[in-house]
Structure 1
Amino acid sequence: MSLAVIQTRAQLGIAAPPVTVEVHLSGGLPSMSIVGLPETGVKESRERVRSALITAGFEFPQRRITINLAPADLPKEGGRYDLAIAIGILSASGQLKGWKATPALEMLGELSLSGEIRSVRGVLPASVAAGQLQRALVVPRDNAEEALMAGDTEVLAVSHLIELVEHLIRRQPLQPAVAEEVAAEAGAMPDLAEVKGQFQARRALEVAAAGGHNLLFSGPPGSGKSMLAARLPGLLPELQSRERLEVAAIASVSGYDVTPACAGIRPFRSPHHTASAVALVGGGSYPRPGEISLAHQGVLFLDELPEFPRRVLEVLREPMETGEILISRAARQTRFPARFQLVGAMNPCPCGYHDDGTDRCYCTPDQIRRYQQKISGPLLDRIDLQLHVPALPPDALLAPAQPGENSAHVRARVRQAHEVQLSRQGTMNRELGGTELEQVCGLDDAGRALLTQVMQRYQLSARTCHRILKVARTLADLAGQPRVEEPQLLEALAFRGCSASGDG
């Protein structure tokens, strides 16, 4: 047979569209050409495949070899097609006696010059797609655990080209890979019990975790803002099955370890303030997930928030509302999920000591105003909890540590609040909107009058009003109350720096 057709998969965002590798051998001068919109890494597979076949003891056909990667309008990148191309050449040249290519088997893997099969990115989305069609998937052994996360897909893990050939010609069949149980290492996370004092900030962390709310800490240097933010992931419940697949798929296409997602650990991303807009939201010639997608179902911590360029911060506004980011290029669009919790930390002024009860601040009012205006009003509107974190006095800082409530106890209350929200409306409180918001967060006459008064005094936007209601609903869920009462509304207003008495 001079034609062989092998099935594999490309990578497009976190999707894995099917690709058919057609290998044809014909007469003429010996050559090997690859068509089907291959980029440089795919074109270089000619040399990898040739060396791998010869080193492994197979014959490389001295004929004209044409390889078509269909569909032709889908860009192909990377070395993920090496294994399918090599098997296609062996099949078309008649070196796989008794085996015929079948659509029920897909292959992924990059070849080394010795014939070893190396790991590739984006195996999990390919495994999910293959399993939906009830197809088996051949993957590098290093990608086996990742591929098995799909659940129903039959996975064949191989480490060398000869190993796969022995399986195909039934000389030494492979057994499907079996998943190993992965346990979450919650104890490895920073514990809330290590935080001294800061009871209001601890409360804000619990509320943010319980409702999925965004949070901003403001305070002088050394007050513990970063320490508090690092403890938020430890308060969040483990990822559920669907969430694990989403988070692991993003890690897979980005080249990161998927083990934490397999164990149910939520991501925590903390990019430096020199990060570009593309690094934050994703992009590139072949779009890759950015920090907001890598923080999907987890926490995105932006320390020194005003130090980020304003144009970089502004790109966060849309994904904070929609939970996804659409990256558009001339030829195609790529969509990445980005449902993250934003936690920001900032100093109140350039020197950091404004309004801390001392005379250390040397900033002028104009410097303070310019510094704080680096964060736009529309972005602040989207941050539900905005809290000042004061520095601890020396006697409290140096006093012997008093065991406080640990993360496990708080996480139990957060998990219970999550269950209440999911059973009531099917989503977290942060995602409430429209008629559902009015039904779930409805106030009595006294509550409406109070909120109206505060909105007029502080000239709050409609978005801010809705976010205050969502926080109040979360506070009521933590208190086990079916309705939002005045104490929850007052506390939610306090978390926005608003006072019902007019002295805030």
Structure 2
Amino acid sequence: MAAIAYSVAFEGIEARLVEVQCAASPGLPGFAIVGLPDKAVSEARERVKAAFAALSIALPNKRLTVNLSPADLPKEGSHFDLPIALAVLAALEIIPAEELSRCVCLGELALDGRLVAVAGGLPAAMAAAEDDRALICPKACGPEAAWVDAVPVIAPASLREVVDHLTDRSPLSRAAPGMIGDAPASGCLSEVRGQERAKRALEIAAAGRHHLLMVGPPGAGKSMLAARLPGLMPPLTPVEALETSMIHSLAGTLEDGGISRRAPFCEPHHTASMAAIVGGGRGARPGQISLAHNGVLFMDEFPEFPRQVLETLRQPIETGEVVVARANAHIRYPCRFLLIAAANPCRCGHLADAAQACSRAPNCGADYMGRISGPLMDRFDLRLEVPAVSFTDLELPPAGESSARIAARVAAAREIQRRRFRDTPRIRANADASGSLLDEIAAPDSEGRALIVKAADRLGLTARGYHRILRTARSIADLEGSETVRVPHLAEAISYRLAFVSGG
């Protein structure tokens, strides 16, 4: 008898339905898995045999053939253990095949029959809902998968519980969604002494999702400023929270099954590999730029990252997605992030201090910042020199606006943009606007046009630089609640392009 179970294969954040077919036929006893399985899937037969032995189920003296269809789609991951085991049980008429065919299954089997958590519970639930099937997954995966209301999610702890559920001996109730995780932001911006211009730049960056580069000596507070940016970001919309959670579910970093509306904050080390930053490696997993989707990507010691990694960021910054190319597939991941980069002015970090600078100053500064190419530098809307903080500033009590007060202005500006772009779902912030839409929402008056033309001549602006100034000015105007972009807004936006003019 042939039986069919259903599982999924992941392509980016998409989950494709896979038929797990099992046939028990006469012949020499054996257990074969075909259909382009990887090593983890091929090893499933040993885990299935051990789990059956733990349940006192003996395999018959027949040839068992498991086919994963479509056969030309690569199958990767240990989550195929459970559907393979259930297909075998259905072929042996231990569980009803008809009941099994109404479910999508995933989960890794321990040798004692327990179900071990796997990545991808949330995308699998989405695929099950689209195909009008229930989802059976490990108990640890139930809270995240249950956020998809359209699909019944059953989350057993062991293979025995699955068998009892499918045979109606002990039916399981639907899993409950996990609690929404909203961890508090780390620190308040008022704790940062001085650096008022940097605080203003962070506010503008958060308001319109504008990329920011901070350059200053060690100890100036660049990392401290960046760490407080999440406290300025508005909560994710339900759509954004689902998108972000699906990526984290695939990466196996979704904590306790909770879907968080807090914007993610990723800070990879400068020794991270290309696959870790952009995505790839075994299974073409999402990288840090995708894990930071709808959130913040903080890259400290920016020039110290490998040149190849830095240059790879150029296209994702523009398109909001990254393609991980493989010989047999092209995997797309969304990566619409806010990039905050921090750097020392030179390798020793004391270029502006003649008493501490190295003997190669100022050439060492030009060489160090030269690691950031002109086209990449051109993609930073805001460029900022962060000066050292004096001891007198450190002795002052905390002053300035709190993160909560600034966050309220940012939320108001984001709400203006949400209404502005409600008919263009792919555009969610001013940083995404381009073409005729940008001309419509940020067109300067005659005085403003004269100012920006003068700035373009002085700075040697590229077309990209010109458009980025308009986007930044639009965000500054939104923070003030202004319907039009005026000269002060343009002047402030231009001032953030004056640093590192040689970069573009």
Q: Which range, TM-score by smaller chain?
A: over 0.9
Q: Per-residue deviation at 1:102?
A: 4.7
Corresponding residue SS for 1:497: coil
Question: In 1, Cα distance between the equivalents of 2:30 and 2:151?
Answer: 37
Corresponding residue SS for 1:189: coil
Question: In 2, Cα distance between the equivalents of 1:41 and 1:353?
Answer: 52
Task: Please say if residues 37 and 72 of structure 1, whose CA atoms lie closer than 8 Å, have aligned partners that are also in contact.
Answer: yes
The residue identity in structure 2 corresponding to 1:116 is R
2:78 corresponding residue in structure 1: 79
* 2:349 aligned to which of 349, 352, 358: 352
1:337 corresponding residue in structure 2: 334
Task: Please say if residues 458 and 498 of structure 1, whose CA atoms lie closer than 8 Å, have aligned partners that are also in contact.
Answer: no
Q: Per-residue deviation at 1:183?
A: 4.8
The residue identity in structure 2 corresponding to 1:32 is F
Question: In 1, Cα distance between the equivalents of 2:13 and 2:267?
Answer: 22
2:94 corresponding residue in structure 1: 95
Q: Per-residue deviation at 1:360?
A: 2.2
**Cα distance change on mapping 1:206 and 1:260 into 2, 3 Å:** farther
After superposition, the C-alpha distances for 1:407-442 in whole angstroms (9 at most, x for unaligned) are 111111111100101111232000010001111001
2:441 is the alignment partner of 1:440: yes
The residue identity in structure 1 corresponding to 2:146 is L
Mark the runs of 5 or more structure 1 residues left unpaired by the alignment: 500-504
Corresponding residue SS for 2:123: helix
* 1:230 aligned to which of 221, 224, 227: 227
Task: Please say if residues 349 and 371 of structure 1, whose CA atoms lie closer than 8 Å, have aligned partners that are also in contact.
Answer: yes
The residue identity in structure 1 corresponding to 2:239 is R
After superposition, the C-alpha distances for 1:35-63 in whole angstroms (9 at most, x for unaligned) are 00011111111110011011112222221
Equivalences for residues 6-25 of structure 1 within 5 A: 6-25=5-24
Corresponding residue SS for 2:340: strand
Larger mean CA deviation between 20-29 and 249-258 belongs to 249-258
Identity in percent: 46
The residue identity in structure 2 corresponding to 1:482 is E
Question: In 2, Cα distance between the equivalents of 1:180 and 1:48?
Answer: 29
2:160 is the alignment partner of 1:159: no
Mark the runs of 5 or more structure 2 residues left unpaired by the alignment: 423-427
2:401 is the alignment partner of 1:401: no
Question: In 2, Cα distance between the equivalents of 1:326 and 1:317?
Answer: 13
The residue identity in structure 2 corresponding to 1:197 is G
**Cα distance change on mapping 1:183 and 1:274 into 2, 3 Å:** closer
The residue identity in structure 1 corresponding to 2:112 is S
**Cα distance change on mapping 1:304 and 1:477 into 2, 3 Å:** same
Corresponding residue SS for 2:443: coil
Normalization by structure 2: what TM-score?
Answer: 0.95
1:29 corresponding residue in structure 2: 28
Question: In 2, Cα distance between the equivalents of 1:282 and 1:224?
Answer: 30
Q: Per-residue deviation at 1:180?
A: 4.2
1:480 corresponding residue in structure 2: 481
RMSD: 1.6
2:122 corresponding residue in structure 1: 124
Q: Per-residue deviation at 1:154?
A: 1.0
Task: Please say if residues 178 and 256 of structure 2, whose CA atoms lie closer than 8 Å, have aligned partners that are also in contact.
Answer: no
The residue identity in structure 2 corresponding to 1:159 is A
Task: Please say if residues 282 and 288 of structure 1, whose CA atoms lie closer than 8 Å, have aligned partners that are also in contact.
Answer: yes
Equivalences for residues 81-480 of structure 1 within 5 A: 81-96=80-95, 100-186=98-184, 188-258=185-255, 262-356=259-353, 358-362=354-358, 363-397=360-394, 399-426=395-422, 427-480=428-481
Question: In 1, Cα distance between the equivalents of 2:409 and 2:429?
Answer: 15
Question: In 2, Cα distance between the equivalents of 1:85 and 1:239?
Answer: 38
Question: In 1, Cα distance between the equivalents of 2:343 and 2:378?
Answer: 16
Corresponding residue SS for 1:80: helix
Count, aligned residues: 494
Question: In 2, Cα distance between the equivalents of 1:388 and 1:133?
Answer: 54
